[in-house]
Amino acid sequence: MKKQFNRMKQLANQTVGRKVFAKDLFLVFSHAQIERRMELVRVVSHNTHKRMVSCLQGHIGADAEKRHKKLPLTTLSQAMVEGGNQLGEDSLMGKMMEVCGEAENRLASELMLHELQIEKEVLDPLSQLAEVDIPNILKQRKQLAKLVLDYDSARARWLQATKSIISGTNTQALTAKADLLKEEVDEAMNKVELCKDQLAADMYSFFSKEGDYARYFVMLLEAQADYHRKSLTVLESVLPAIQAQQDSWTEKPAFGTGLDEHLKRSGREIALPLEACVMMLLETGMKEEGLFRIAAGASKLKKLKAALDCSTSQLEEFYSDPHAVAGALKSYLRELPEPLMTYHLYDEWIQASRQDPDKRLQALWVVCDQLPKNNKTNLRYLVKFLARLAQDSEVNKMTPSNISIVLGPNLLWAKTEGSLAEMAAATSVHVVAIVEPIIQHADWFFPDDVEFNVSGMFAMPTPASNHNNHLDYDCGTIEKKRPGSMVGPESDSVRKDNLS
Amino acid sequence: MPEQSNDYRVVVFGAGGVGKSSLVLRFVKGTFRDTYIPTVEDTYRQVISCDKSVCTLQITDTTGSHQFPAMQRLSISKGHAFILVYSITSRQSLEELKPIYQQVLAIKGSTESIPIMLVGNKSDEMAQREVETKEGEAQATAWKCAFMETSAKTNSNVKELFQELLALEKKRDMSLSIDGKRSGKQKRADKLKGKCSVM
């Protein structure tokens, strides 16, 4: 473009320099090529402007606030915040929607600022170029053409007048007229020159500004990069917080999650499924024959496990199905990534169980004492409960020995179990020899009394009673509503007698 | 697949408390104990006649209370024949057999040439019956296996159960009675529980 213009300029200068008629100059400028060129620039600028506007999400020309309000991201953000409020602070999803909604709102702000900047720095200048600057130049060229026409006719009239001087009689009058016409010609020439200068200046300026026009596109990309960087900053500032919130969510599945992780996450001391099952069994399962031995209905068990995984669920219906509850407890223990009595102490446990009977208890106690705090607390809780269950063994048939046969393999297993199944089969025998004495001598291993109702979450749901301590209830006044409820007053008195 | 040996291994599966041990003890020792003791895993051996010679019938009494899949798979892969026991007083115990049957099917590939008996035990406890005889038969038909109702307590159909199971084995000709001098009380209970040693 520039090269072509230079050639034009050269031509123009030549003609101007030779003081030829302005008509020649005009011819130079009317050169179709340069005109076409400008028209082309106008058209592409116009189109680019139009397409770029359609890329904008906001309404062009609107003020910042209004634009921000109308962005799809803003409405998304509002929907999220609103949804979050409806779900409430207690719900993780609600909380996340609020956080996410706020982030989206910030993204919307960034987008709005970005679009404003684009509009100001790219779109408006492009529009100026296509809709004002170039049309003005073209208009000026038309004006020049008109002036040149004026000049031509003035000149023609003057030439006519000059001719008549030569042939005419009234020389003086004719000369005066010719002088007048000459003045007109000079004036028209003057106007042409002025307009031509103006036009030349505008065209010079147009072409010299090509660099500026090209810069719009650099600015566009820079603005976009800047926008994305800012958006990324927004996202990166929110992500760690929202991720942390997700991670801190306590109501992750308890089944299959490591004990320490589950306890830490839920802020509990006793694993939720353990406490829930024990509380339910204390209520309705203690006299059930073959508790922990007899299999539960698979679908019931699955349902209970799922209910325990989202601890808020109603557990009421499971009170009537102690075998499902016992099954869920066994499942929980078995699905722990590491057995409750740990891989770490596996060899020690086995060694201890091989001691002579008079030394065995002491050896087991030593190993027991080495258990990590969480494991020890939960084992103690479970063992105390199992010992309690064994007190009713005349009715439920579950002696310490029987309990350890059916439950022991869920408490301790070798790490190599999968590959060496035979070994696992044999170790389950050892496990019985480890677990049985611990249940048998629960009060010696764990002298302190255990409060089974640790968190109060699973206190008796019977609406008629408001006893917070399950074990201390006054049995006479309680009307059990659930079918299959078998915990009678005598079982508690037995326990109290034994403890005293 | 089971390795070629003279032993003929029968594995007894079933949910906890259906009477697997009672059935096996009634068959092996002829006694019935009214105690309530879950099984870890016991193996009993008895000499029987097989292809005009003798071989050892090895009966593995599995635990019903905790199924570690690895242990169960091992028992299945080593077993030649299977007794699947449920209690007629518990529909759930019949349900429990379904995954075990599927496991046998998965490990053995096909159950066609494998003797399997579906057994409804505690047939003496008619008052508590939850599973009708024809339901057990229907399940056996679905599984293409034999079916029988037994009572270890009243010694009903116990010997017949093992006889029929051995009769189902087409690869060998087996029978419980062994001829001549070797007959008698040649059985021993080889309890893992007592014999376990250092590994």
Q: What is the pLDDT of residue B118?
A: 93
User: How would residue A2 be classed by pLDDT, with cut points 50, 70 and 90?
Assistant: low
State how far the alpha carbon of B29 is from the alpha carbons of A66, B46, B62, in Å.
92, 10, 17
User: How would residue A212 be classed by pLDDT, with cut points 50, 70 and 90?
Assistant: confident
d(CA A74, nearest CA chain B) in Å:
54
| Weakly modelled stretches of chain B, pLDDT under 50 | 1-3, 180-199
Chain A residues with CB under 8 Å of a chain B CB are 289-290, 292-298, 330, 334, 354, 397, 401-402, 405-407, 409-410, 413, 417-418, 421-430, 432
Instruction: Answer yes or no: is pLDDT of A500 > 80.
Output: no
Integer Cα distance of B159 and B176 in angstroms: 9
Q: Which domains does chain B have, with CATH numbers?
A: 8-175 (3.40.50.300)
**Contact criterion met (CB below 8 Å) for B13 and B74:** no
Of A410, A417, A422, nearest to B66 by CB-CB distance is: A410
A296–B92 C-beta distance less than 8 A = yes
For residue A429, give the chain B residue with the closest CA: B193
B40–A430 C-beta distance less than 8 A = no
Element (H, E) at B9: strand B8-14
Q: What is the pLDDT of residue A416?
A: 67
Q: What is the pLDDT of residue A415?
A: 77
Integer Cα distance of A119 and A112 in angstroms: 10
What's the whole-number mean pLDDT along residues A345-359? 86
Integer Cα distance of A79 and A73 in angstroms: 10
**Contact criterion met (CB below 8 Å) for B170 and B27:** no
B68–A426 C-beta distance less than 8 A = no
d(CA B126, nearest CA chain A) in Å:
19
Q: What percent of chain A has pLDDT over 70?
A: 80
Q: What is the pLDDT of residue B81?
A: 92
Integer Cα distance of A115 and A73 in angstroms: 14
B65–A293 C-beta distance less than 8 A = yes
**Contact criterion met (CB below 8 Å) for B65 and B99:** no
Instruction: Answer yes or no: is pLDDT of A499 > 50.
Output: no
d(CA B66, nearest CA chain A) in Å:
6
B38 vs A: CB within 8 A? yes
Residue B144 token pair: 């293409």
Q: What is the pLDDT of residue A224?
A: 94
Report chain A residues whose CB lies below 8 A from the CB of B199: 423, 426-427
The Cβ of residue A119 has, within 10 Å, a number of other Cβ atoms equal to: 19
Report chain B residues whose CB lies below 8 A from the CB of A423: 199
Q: What is the pLDDT of residue A6?
A: 60
Report chain A residues whose CB lies below 8 A from the CB of B17: 290, 293-294
Q: What is the pLDDT of residue B12?
A: 93
Query: Which of residues A1 and A191 earns the better pLDDT score?
Result: A191
B16 vs A: CB within 8 A? yes
d(CA B199, nearest CA chain A) in Å:
8
Of B17, B71, B95, nearest to A297 by CB-CB distance is: B95
User: How would residue A102 be classed by pLDDT, with cut points 50, 70 and 90?
Assistant: very high
d(CA A389, nearest CA chain B) in Å:
15
Q: What is the pLDDT of residue A221?
A: 94
pLDDT digits (tens, 9 = 90+) for A317-344: 777 788 888 888 888 898 888 889 988 8
Integer Cα distance of B94 and A99 in angstroms: 51
Instruction: Answer yes or no: is pLDDT of A154 > 50.
Output: yes
B64–A410 C-beta distance less than 8 A = no
- Range of A203-207, A357-361, A451-455, B134-138 with top mean pLDDT: B134-138
Of B71, B92, B95, nearest to A421 by CB-CB distance is: B71
Query: Which of residues A229 and A24 earns the better pLDDT score?
Result: A229
Q: Which residues neighbour A447 within 8 Å (Cβ) at sequence distance 6 or greater?
A: none
Of B15, B73, B196, nearest to A426 by CB-CB distance is: B196
pLDDT digits (tens, 9 = 90+) for A167-202: 767 778 888 888 888 888 889 889 888 888 888 888
Among candidate residues A437, A447, A445, the one with its CA nearest the CA of residue A355 = A437
End-to-end CA distance of chain A, in Å? Answer: 107
d(CA A77, nearest CA chain B) in Å:
49
Integer Cα distance of B159 and B150 in angstroms: 10
Q: A28 burial class (0-12, 13-18, 19+ CB within 10 angstroms)?
A: buried
The Cβ of residue B146 has, within 10 Å, a number of other Cβ atoms equal to: 16
State how far the alpha carbon of A260 is from the alpha carbons of A248, A256, A269, A270, A310, in Å.
14, 12, 10, 10, 18
B73–A421 C-beta distance less than 8 A = yes
B63–A405 C-beta distance less than 8 A = yes
d(CA B76, nearest CA chain A) in Å:
12
State how far the alpha carbon of B123 is from the alpha carbons of B92, B130, B131, B158, in Å.
16, 11, 10, 11
Query: Which of residues A18 and A447 earns the better pLDDT score?
Result: A447
Q: What is the pLDDT of residue A257?
A: 83
B39–A409 C-beta distance less than 8 A = no
For residue A333, give the chain B residue with the closest CA: B66
Residue A141 token pair: 């060229």
What's the whole-number mean pLDDT along residues A454-468? 54
End-to-end CA distance of chain B, in Å? Answer: 25
A143-157, A255-269, A368-382, A431-445: range with lowest mean pLDDT: A255-269
Among candidate residues A357, A354, A358, the one with its CA nearest the CA of residue B197 = A354
d(CA A489, nearest CA chain B) in Å:
25
pLDDT digits (tens, 9 = 90+) for A163-174: 877 776 777 888
Query: Which of residues A351 and A27 earns the better pLDDT score?
Result: A351
B190 vs A: CB within 8 A? no
B38–A402 C-beta distance less than 8 A = yes
Query: Which of residues A234 and B176 earns the better pLDDT score?
Result: A234
A425–B66 C-beta distance less than 8 A = no
**ipTM score assigned to the predicted complex:** 0.77
The Cβ of residue A483 has, within 10 Å, a number of other Cβ atoms equal to: 9
Residue B114's Cβ-side half-sphere holds a number of Cα atoms within 13 Å equal to 26
The full length of chain A comes to: 500
Domain boundaries, chain A: 20-249, 259-445
Residue B90 token pair: 């518990």
Report chain A residues whose CB lies below 8 A from the CB of B68: 409, 413, 417, 421, 424, 428
B68 vs A: CB within 8 A? yes
**Which architecture does CATH list for A20-249?**
Up-down Bundle (1.20)
Instruction: Answer yes or no: is pLDDT of A279 > 60.
Output: yes
A296–B73 C-beta distance less than 8 A = no
Integer Cα distance of A146 and A154 in angstroms: 12
Q: A158 burial class (0-12, 13-18, 19+ CB within 10 angstroms)?
A: buried
The Cβ of residue B99 has, within 10 Å, a number of other Cβ atoms equal to: 13
pLDDT digits (tens, 9 = 90+) for A28-62: 555 567 778 888 889 999 999 999 988 888 887 77
**Contact criterion met (CB below 8 Å) for B47 and B186:** yes
B184 vs A: CB within 8 A? no
B36 vs A: CB within 8 A? yes
Q: What is the pLDDT of residue A105?
A: 93
Among candidate residues B137, B10, B2, the one with its CA nearest the CA of residue B78 = B2
Of B17, B193, B198, nearest to A294 by CB-CB distance is: B17
**Which architecture does CATH list for A259-445?**
Orthogonal Bundle (1.10)
Residue A218's Cβ-side half-sphere holds a number of Cα atoms within 13 Å equal to 5
pLDDT digits (tens, 9 = 90+) for A382-440: 999 999 888 888 888 888 888 888 888 888 887 765 555 555 555 667 788 888 889 98
Largest CA distance in chain A: 161
